[in-house]
Chains A and B, each alone.
Chain A
Amino acid sequence: MTSSRQWLTGAARALPFFYAAIVIVLVWEVVVLLTKPDPSILPPPLEVAWTFGHLASDGELAVHTAYSVARVFSAWLLSAVIAIPLGLLMGNSRSLERIINPFVELLRPISPLAWIPMAILWFGIGESGKVFVVFIGTFFPILLSTIAGAKGVDPVLLHAGQVFGCTTRLSLFRRVVVPAALPNIVVGLRVAFGTGWAAIIAAELVAAHSGLGYLIANGMDILRADQVLVGMIAIGVLGFLFDTFFRYLQAHYGRAAR
């Protein structure tokens, strides 16, 4: 009974997204029927679905997706490994924050896309350059969310921690500050994955031979709007799935932290 209710709740939540997808396809089809554009400008949904099926069945879409996901994931992980401890320390130490914050504020406004030429010069044409660009895009959201999480711990929690035996600063940090900052950290990780996803597409547009960004750029070069749209749809669907996953984590860790 519980599982069928859960299934129904899940289906009810997914319904608006199906509705949105159907409306988009219907509007798209109507526009094609009414305006009869050249397929190189706007192909009909069926043609794009066929190309999607073709690219999926011959494995090309999976390869490009895997490259993009792997690049984003490795950069995001690297950012998390550096930004979370650094953010927790900065959130707990005013002097450290005073030292590091000017660097953060100077570098943070520079778009990851602006780093692409330098990334090619410094890291060459391999994977490191693309990972570096995504790293820039993912590092700051995680760092800032972690700092906010660590600084925003309720003083009541800190006091309760001391009462319940966290006598040293380290134990208070480990047993109260870190768990209390966790919801913010997860928000940062979620936002960072989104920005990383946007950055990788741009990085792959410039110097790559694989990835969804490359698939789109290549489609533009050879007048294959159907291929461009397949790349865009894949990005949209993957972005939605990752965001759903992070929302679940956020809800889960939010409850755990409470």
Chain B
Amino acid sequence: MAAIRLERGAFLYLCGMLPALFASGPAVAQQEVNYGVQPDTDPSFIAKALGYFDPIEKKHNVKIVFREFAYGAPENQAMAAGALQVASAGMGPATIAVSRLPAKLVAINILEQTAILVPKDSPLKSPCDLKGKAVAYPGEGSQQYPLLLKALSKCGLSASDIKLFKSSGPDIPTLVMNKSVDAGITWDPSISVGLASGKVRLLAKAEQIMPIMGGHYVGNGVYVRNEFLEQHKDIVQELVTANVMAVNYILCHPKEAAKLWSEQIRIKQEIIQLSLDQGISVYSLNVIPTEETMTAYTKFLKDAKILKPDDTPKIDPSFATKALQEVKSGKTCMETGPSR
């Protein structure tokens, strides 16, 4: 009986405390904007480092929180679960997300970013020589897999003509260096890490396989959950503009940008500089995801059976278009087009 009385007392105490707890909070709670990123040469890191997000946070009383993921698939799973409002990922995962999730692609912020690597002394000269070889790749959900298929199809080869070995993107240069595999396709900065070691070389760059935007392959996209986009159009616009401003900074000050990235993603500055110098990751102020580019890219993913025939990616180019106009009205280092 005493225990029941004690429990009832505790319950009433909690009921009394709840309003007090709510009342003691801030008048308007600061909203967290969860922004999914991967530790790569994403302009978002530069935007953050240069404080381009600060005025957005202040103006809208939000906190932009970077949530880091090793690769696109878990990032998409987090977005599917509603844990991310904004995400930046490789175009493969980004297109899968905007086809299957309530989300829209708002910008393409990195070009290229993918290459096939082979050991320095490999006799292979082109992707056509890959027949019968072991090739490491980061999984079917990555953009590297369909790109590899595309490279093979140009030589009349298919996935069954090679020995595919799934591995994590950053481990692929090591597998190539150790000659555990004959070749590997991965993303940047892992490509540049491999190249900087001097033990691997490029077999093919993405632009040689599928040039679909300004002579380059599309590397990375920014996408936003529909719900967030509808409720916070202005925040989305300012985030995209911050990304384009960051791209402008990268184009104007590549050395400083490499230094900032190095601090943010903990990769040596020389390696990032090598990526920029050799055009492994390429930047353009024109981050607009056009219908034409996306149609070509979607067909590419459908051919690789990654997207279903009835999958239609949702895009909204208006934010990138406005961001480009806003940035171009100020001082820019280049007009539209690639950084080289």
Contact = CB atoms under 8 A, between A and B. Distances in A.
12 contacts: A38-B101, A40-B100, A41-B81, A124-B180, A125-B134, A209-B166, A221-B139, A221-B140, A222-B306, A223-B80, A223-B97, A223-B141
Contacts of A38: 80, 101-102
A38 B231 CA distance: 19
Interface of B: 73, 76-77, 80-81, 96-97, 100-102, 134, 139-142, 163-167, 180-181, 306
B141 A39 contact: no
Interface of A: 38-41, 124-125, 206-209, 217-218, 220-224
Contacts of A224: 100
B140 A218 contact: yes
B96 A208 contact: no
Nearest to B138: A221
Given A40-B101, A41-B80, A125-B134, A222 B166 contact: no
Given A38-B102, A218-B140, A223-B101, A208 B166 contact: yes
B134 A221 contact: no
Contact of A217 (B81, B96, B139, B163): B139
A222 B96 contact: yes
Interface SS of chain A:
loop
A221 B163 CA distance: 20
B89 to A, nearest CB: 12
Among A38, A40, A124, A209, which residue has the most Cβ atoms of chain B within 10 A?
Answer: A40
Contacts of B139: 217-218, 221
A206 B168 CA distance: 9
A124 B163 CA distance: 12
Given A218-B140, A222-B140, A40 B80 contact: yes
A214 B306 CA distance: 15
A150 B77 CA distance: 50
Contacts of B100: 39-40, 223-224
A207 B80 contact: no
Contacts of A40: 80, 100-101
Given A39-B100, A207-B165, A207-B166, A221 B180 contact: no
